[in-house]
Structures are given as C-alpha cells and as structure tokens.
Amino acid sequence: MYIYPIPFMNTINISIVGASGYSGAELIRLCLSRPDVCLKHLVAHTSVGKRVDELYPQFAGRVEMVFEPFEVLKDGESDIVFIALPSGEAMNIVPLLQNSVERIIDVGGDFRLPSAELYEQFYRHIHTSSHLLGEAVYGLPELQKNEIARARLVANPGCYPTSAILALLPVLKAGVISHNGIVINSLSGISGAGKTASFEMSFSELNENIRAYKIGTHQHIPEIEQVLSRASGKTVSVSFVPHLVPLTRGIYTTIHA
C-alpha cells in the first residue's frame, strides 16, 4: 500500500477497479498528485499479483502495490471507488459496493443517460441496474458541483461530450446560437478505445490515416443532447461525427452552429 509520508487529518482512501487500463493508470497518476489521498486497492482481474510498476514503469518508486482481485473491496475500507471499466460492466458492480462505499464514480458510460431505454438504444445492451439511473449525478463540475459533492453515485462525463458541452453551453444560454442544427466534429487519439487489441486499432490501419466511425449512432449523441437540453432549458439536437486520428491521446473538437 502506498501512503504519503506526511500525515493528514482527513485522508481519503481510494480504490480503483480496472486499474490496469489506460483510464486506471491516469487515475493512479491523478491520485498521486493529491497529498490527501491514499491508494487503498488497485483492482485488475487480468493482472492479479502483478506489480503496478511492472506494468507502468512511470510509477516506479512511487507505488509499491500489486493489482488485486475484486474481492478485496469487501473490507469496506475505501471511501471512494472509481470504476474504470468498459461500458456494460459498472452496472453489475455498483450494486455490490453501495452498502460498503461512501461514493462510487463510474468512469464509463453506464450511468450517464437518464433512461434505460435510451441507454439500450445507443449502447446496444440491457441495463441491469436501471433502478440506479435516477440516483446518479452527472459529474461535470462546471454544471453541478454542489450536486456532485453530495452524490453517492457519480457518472463521469464522456470525453467527446465534455469537449462539446463546455464549448456550447455558454453560447446556448446567451442565445447566440440556435439550439437546432448544431454540427460537432471531433478528432480523438486512439487510446480512447482502450487496450484490447483489434485489427481496426492496429498500427497499419491507423498510421497516416483518419477514419470517421459510428456516424449518427455514437453513444455520446444522447449524452450531449440530454445535458445541453437540461442545462439550457431548450430542446437541443446535434449532428455529431467522431473521428480516429493517429495520435496516442487528446481530443480536438470543432463546432458549427
């Protein structure tokens, strides 16, 4: 277990489920920047027993921990648990943790949309914890930091939606643009697709290339529309086209309205 050498009165014990993935590694890095945080458990079912700094050498000398199985979270010693897993997995984990954890933050998309029907339409699988959708708070602090502070279940915003919502909301509220006919084009690095190997994500397919994908069907479309509509008080509709570009990370979004 990694503990900062300086004692703090209000240390926050944080555990991460899916800690071996790219999002998990970024969460570890962010936690290490906080002197009031103690990393309690790093859960990764595919890397149980492996040292964290073996998989991610950038943490050598900073994190002397091994990846653990999910069962360790039953000790009830975590104040906050981040779930950094592909969509469709957090919905099965959250009910198992609710009684023992003060706050759960889902980095994936399982709790971002207000209805199971909308989720199932765009994510293409059944939501097994639809009764919890009403409890989840959308975790964009620029919109509702007070609600986030009180929430027990937080839905971390999507990457594309964050870039679009923060750009559009001020001009929508000011009435500078129409709430219809908004066109969003986003370029994303390939690490957003995660670590699972596939032909489409191979070097030969992506190098010196650009590819639009999920045109008109991307799961972030309803997220963008729902959040902007609720925050602006208008029914917002968007045309959103995401593109993969040969970069490791980052998003570049251009919006026309």
Q: Locate the domains of the chain by residue range.
A: 12-157, 160-256
What is the pLDDT, as a whole number, of residue 132? 98
**Residue 242: left (phi > 0), alpha (psi -120 to 50), or beta?**
beta
Is 106:90 a contact under the CB 8 Å cutoff? yes
Is 155:112 a contact under the CB 8 Å cutoff? yes
Is 89:54 a contact under the CB 8 Å cutoff? no
Query: What's the pTM?
Result: 0.92
Q: Does this chain's domain 12-157 share its CATH topology with 160-256?
A: no
CATH homologous superfamily, domain 160-256: Dihydrodipicolinate Reductase; domain 2 (3.30.360.10)
Q: Which residues make beta-bridge pairs with 103? A: 80
Question: Could you tell me the mean pLDDT of each successive run of 10 residues in the chain, 257 residues long?
Answer: 47 97 97 96 97 97 97 94 97 96 98 97 97 98 96 98 98 94 96 83 89 96 98 96 95 97
User: Catalytic: 31?
Assistant: no
What is the pLDDT, as a whole number, of residue 197? 78
What is the pLDDT, as a whole number, of residue 131? 97
Q: Which of 25, 91, 159, 227 is catalytic?
A: 159
- CATH numeric code, 12-157: 3.40.50.720
What is the pLDDT, as a whole number, of residue 2? 41
